[in-house]
Structures are given as structure tokens and as C-alpha cells.
Amino acid sequence: MLSDVLRFSSFFGVLLNRMAANPRTFADTRRTVLAAHKASTTENKMSFYDSWSELYEQDVMLLDYRAPLLVAETLAAVMQEDRDQVLVLDVACGTGLVAIQLQRLGFCNFHGVDGSEGMLELARSKSVYQTLQKCILDTESLPASSGIYDVVVIVGALSEGQVPHTILPELHRVTKPGGFICMTTRTNSSNQLYKKQLQVVIEEMEQQKLWERVRVQEIKHWEKATSEQESKYISGIIYTYRKSRSQD
């Protein structure tokens, strides 16, 4: 436990040093986030995230981005025992913010995948993950065998212009029967079409009894808005599902 506290403190110490060396304003962050949604090709997107990786954690702090913490608390609430035994796949893991929060709550075993080598380099530096692999999530299958993960999470990547909703069957495939899948998306106006399409797939898989709903949480203050057409904060949603035990 002490080693976890020291590692967590070290993480924030490094982040504060980066912020001192590269001070950012909310206006800087706003321009970067808006640019993230303009990258058209997969190659351009990955190049953008590579270049953003060093400033990413500063920017999410300026955005008051709470999804990693909220998802970790959600999973801790539904998995109250043996958290140190479960194996977690962090899809679109970025720099490792979700794993850091899960580790703080007693989860210990993490595999991560992301399409950006720059993001993966920072995730490696945290020494949280046992394995990290590069995977272009809109064109490739997840680099994992079927039914091996107790928990699969994808936080912040299911939205317009990022990871397509067609990845949901892959999330289901790599999850153990009886395992948990936790997903997030934004519910602000610019992401409504994507959210609608995502929910169609979620509900179809539920009707097919591939998984069952555990909890769906709507979060009013997801992160600070970057569009002038929206209020101070945008909203988001956390979907937690459990894979049917009868599935292979």
C-alpha cells in the first residue's frame, strides 16, 4: 500500500514539473481539443496524439476531466472483493490515467492498448502496466485472445472522430464470461449522433443476451466545454455491462 501511495505521489510530482516547464492556459487546451477532432485520416490522428502526448495530462487537468476517477470508482463499487486478482484491459489507455486511478483503489493487473506510440511511451514510464501494445483501434482487432480479461475499460475514446462504435463486439470478445465492460462517451450536442449509434449497438447486444446492464450513470459535469456554443461543462455517460456467463 505504501509503495502505491509513493508511486501515486511521484506521478503527480512529475506532472507538476511538466506543468512548470510548459505552462498551459485553458485557451491553449481548447485549441488543442478542437484540433483533435479535425484530424481526418487514421495516420493524421495518431500523429496528432503523438505530438499531444507530452501536454495531454496538463490539458485534461485544465479541462477538469473526471472520467478516469469516475470509472475507477464505478468499477470499485461493482467489484468489492479480490480487486488485486482481476486482470484489466485498458483500451485506448493513453498515458495511463485510468490505470492510475484503478490502482489507487486496489486493482493491480493491467494490460493496455493504444494507437499512439507517444501516449504509450508515457504510459510505460508509470510502471503500472504489465504489458502495453500498439493497436489502431478503428482498423485492427484487439491483440488479445478471447475471454481472458475480468475487466475491459475504454474511457474517453468512444466519440465522434475517435474510436468507432463497431469496436464493441471486440470488447465483448476479449472479456471473460461474467466479466465487466465499462465504456464512456460524451453526451453534449456535438456527440449526439455518435451516442445514438453507440446505444443502438449496446442495446442490440443486450437484446441478444451477450451482456446485461449493471449500471448506466449520466454525469452532468464531465469536463469543461471547449465549444462556445455549449455551457461551462459538458455532460457524459458511463455504461457498465456484464458479459453473459453462457458466452464463449
In tens, the pLDDT along 20-70 reads: 455 789 888 988 887 776 767 888 889 999 999 999 999 999 999 999 999
* Closest residue by Cα to residue 161 from 194, 200, 201: 194
Neighbours of 142 (CB within 10 A): 20
* pLDDT confidence of residue 16: 42
Amino acid at 76: A
What are 224's three cell numbers? Answer: 469543461
**Over 50: is that where the pLDDT of 2 sits?**
no
Q: Are 173 and 225 in contact (CB under 8 A)?
A: no
Q: How confident is the model at residue 230 (pLDDT cuts 50, 70, 90)?
A: confident
Please tell me the pTM assigned to this model: 0.89
* pLDDT confidence of residue 15: 41
Q: Are 135 and 102 in contact (CB under 8 A)?
A: no
Mean per-residue pLDDT, 172-185: 98
* Closest residue by Cα to residue 208 from 167, 151, 247: 247
* pLDDT confidence of residue 13: 43
Mean per-residue pLDDT, 97-125: 97
In tens, the pLDDT along 132-173 reads: 999 998 888 999 999 999 999 999 999 988 999 999 999 999
Distance CA 134, CA 132 (A): 7
Superfamily of domain 67-243: Vaccinia Virus protein VP39 (3.40.50.150)
In tens, the pLDDT along 71-108 reads: 999 999 999 999 999 999 999 999 999 999 999 999 99
Mean per-residue pLDDT, 116-129: 97
Distance CA 17, CA 193 (A): 39
Distance CA 194, CA 70 (A): 21
Q: Spell out the domain ranges in the chain.
A: 2-62, 67-243
Distance CA 60, CA 52 (A): 11
* Closest residue by Cα to residue 93 from 152, 149, 45: 152
Q: Are 150 and 82 in contact (CB under 8 A)?
A: no
Q: How confident is the model at residue 9 (pLDDT cuts 50, 70, 90)?
A: very low
* pLDDT confidence of residue 39: 64
